[in-house]
Amino acid sequence: MKALLLSHTSDLQVLLQHELRRRRTDAEIARTHTLASALPYLRQEPEIDHVVLDLGLCGWSRMSTLVTTLRPCLGHRRLVLLVDTVEDVMRVRAQGVTVDACLPRSAGLGPLADLLLQTDATLPTLTATRWAYRDREAVEQALTGAAPVGRTGVRVAGDGASSAKVYSGMFNRQAW
């Protein structure tokens, strides 16, 4: 299994590489911090299965443009967007950016490693209307404002009851 990490920090690469090697010995994570160096690497390495884009690399202002530029170059590869908190997952959803998965850093490396080790090519592309979460209770708490989420402790704005009602359908995995 090979993955390309687009990130500004090498710490994430080292930790993820360690987690993947602990589970599977042939896992390899390459890292770059620019799109210009990522595109030739993707052409040279056809065995890359996943491209993980760390939102810290591009920021919110350039995220949509970067994903739109990167998407045609991916071919069979899955695009995973790594954000900071559950609220950021909702923000990506609201912007309508199409990625194969969007995971918060606050969930830890386990869910990301699980996703990278999946080889099932039938997983659907996640768009503005279809999202899956490993921790349903944390997301529901974030939507209703019942508990602070993430490092900042910021709650989701708006009427909690209506927000939970609007987003309640996104947890139904059978709908896929």
With H, G, I as helix, E, B as strand and everything else as coil, classify residue 73: helix
Look at residue 103 and tell me if it is in a domain: yes
Flag whether 88 is in a domain.
Answer: yes
Q: What confidence tens digit (pLDDT) does each residue in 42-78 have?
A: 888 888 989 999 888 888 888 888 888 888 888 888 9
* Burial zone of 21 (CB within 10 Å; 0-12 exposed, 13-18 middle, 19+ buried): middle
**Residue 161 lies inside a defined structural domain of this protein:** no
Does any domain span residue 163?
Answer: no
Using only C-alpha atoms, the chain has a radius of gyration, in whole angstroms, of 16
pLDDT digits (tens, 9 = 90+) for 86-102: 888 888 878 877 888 88
Rounded to an integer, the average pLDDT of 16-30 is 83
Band the pLDDT of 137: cuts 50, 70, 90. Answer: low
- Copy the structure tokens of residue 115: 């996703």
Task: Give the domain CATH number at 47.
Answer: 3.40.50.2300
State the residue range of the domain holding 105: 2-134
Q: Tokens 């009427």 appear where? A: 159
121 domain residue, yes or no: yes
Q: For residue 98, tell me if it sits in a domain.
A: yes
| SS3 label, residue 83 | strand
The count of structural domains within the chain is: 1
User: Is residue 155 situated within a structural domain?
Assistant: no
